[in-house]
Amino acid sequence: MEITKICCIGAGYVGGPTMAVIAQKCPHIQVTVVDLNEQRIKDWNDPNTDNIPIYEPGLSEIVAEARGRNLFFSTEVEKAIDEAQVIFISVNTPTKTYGKGKGMAADLKYIELCARQIAKVAKQNKIVVEKSTLPVRTAEAIKSILDNTGNGVQFQILSNPEFLAEGTAVTDLLNPDRILIGGDSSPEGESAIDALVNVYANWVNRDKILTTNVWSSELSKLTANAFLAQRISSINAMSELCEKTGANVNEVAKAIGMDSRIGPKFLKASVGFGGSCFQKDILNLVYIAKSYGLNEVADYWEQVIIMNDHQKRRFSNKIVQTLYNTVADKKITFLGWAFKKDTNDTRESAAIYVADDLINEQAKISVYDPKVSRNKMLSDLDYLETRSEVENAEALTIFDNAYEACKESHAIAILTEWDEFTTYDWQKIYEFMHKPAFVFDGRNILNAKELESIGFIYNGIGS
């Protein structure tokens, strides 16, 4: 089968960039991204591609090239489903906040809604591709819904998990380590796998396209994120020990990273990992292990999350303790709100939780982030339901200029590793702060000696 029309349900951080790259690299394939959120689709169709809703370096240029040629963004979900040969499901799979598995299991209600809508609309055979991160054996549930509520249409379910790091998503899509496609071992399943392989083969070497059974593909995504998050929590655990013993966590990380068996990646100590994937996927893994009675396995992986939460609390506690055990009515400036640089995604960002802790201590938080909007910051805090929306709005002041955000501040906390923070005139910032002036570098990106020579009291992670 030669694919000429693709539909993607979900115009978020995975669906939007992935489909943009497929459209750019496969001009012979019509790619339609659909979403029920009218404002999001309107933003994707903004005449100025600098205003698209997701910030990723290089993404706006790719959208500008392909949009209107063979890349389309629409709210006409059923029309796109009807016309497409391949349907990617790329909707949100948050951690459940209710019922059995609350706080751990993935909430699959959006996935099920997609499956039921596909079943209702489809008149010809379809390939349905899981792009969202899903628990093992979700494909089985999707196939059951499609086969039992459809119109006699034959469906093939493939698992094609994304391995994108936000901030480098475009690079990851253009030059992936691997493409993973899981499907059924039947002739029909193998035909569907081949069809999707041929799409990616337009720009990815075939030796980088790995095919497996569905279950291996689904579990590989959870496992990869669990291993990466484990490395971060491991070095963060050592950062606290370094602070107590006089060691330097950057030196420790460099020393062990030079071991070819370990390698240097994901050994950067910080205030903690964020993002939509790591915590959600590990909790999902914990839930799956517990559901099979594998309590020791569950406890092992859950400790990665516990360590990450501890690192965030430790950072906020250190600010309070260093500022003479009170931050009441003191202005604390956050540089950065996104969970990492080069993205406007704030899901599970450490900044949210550190801000929440400090507001509980009656601090006044000022924030500057080059890509995150005021409304997004406030909605992040409101989501925690720690206090009223009015109280959050009073405690959080958002600036569009970093120097203004730092003026009259008692302390500055670096929460995101944006490159621009290292280029600031820190002498100028120091002059307009209350003294003593404190810097808490949650990403270890600033030059400690330079700041101390200016007069700052510098606090990094793990030293």
Neighbouring-strand partners of residue 438? 411, 457
Q: At what angle do helices 214-245 and 295-322 cross, to 10 degrees?
A: 40
Contact by Cβ (8 Å): 163, 172:
yes
462 is in an annotated binding site: no
Contact by Cβ (8 Å): 442, 271:
yes
pLDDT of residue 235: 97
302 is in an annotated binding site: no
132 is in an annotated binding site: yes
Domains and CATH numbers, the chain: 5-204 (3.40.50.720), 278-460 (3.40.50.720)
pLDDT of residue 221: 87
Cis upstream peptide for 436 (omega within 30°): yes
Amino acid letter for position 189 = G
Neighbours of 259 (CB within 10 A): 9
pLDDT of residue 137: 64
**C-alpha to C-alpha distances, 199 to 132, 213, 444, nearest whole angstrom:** 19, 19, 41
Mapping DSSP to helix (H, G, I), strand (E, B) and coil, where does residue 398 land? strand
Catalytic residues: 277
340 is in an annotated binding site: yes
**Burial status of residue 336 (CB atoms within 10 A of its CB: 0-12, 13-18, 19 or more):** buried
10 is in an annotated binding site: yes
119 is in an annotated binding site: no
Take residue 223 and report the two structure tokens written for it: 């496992």
158 CB contacts (<8 Å, ≥6 apart)?
A: 127, 128, 129, 130, 139, 181, 182, 183, 192, 193, 196, 214
Contact by Cβ (8 Å): 134, 93:
yes
pLDDT of residue 92: 79
Mean pLDDT in each 10-residue stretch from start to end of the chain (463 residues)? 94 96 98 96 97 96 98 97 95 79 77 88 92 68 77 88 92 96 93 97 97 90 94 97 96 97 96 92 92 96 97 98 97 98 96 98 98 97 96 97 98 98 98 98 97 98 94
Q: Which residue matches tokens 């590990």?
A: 282
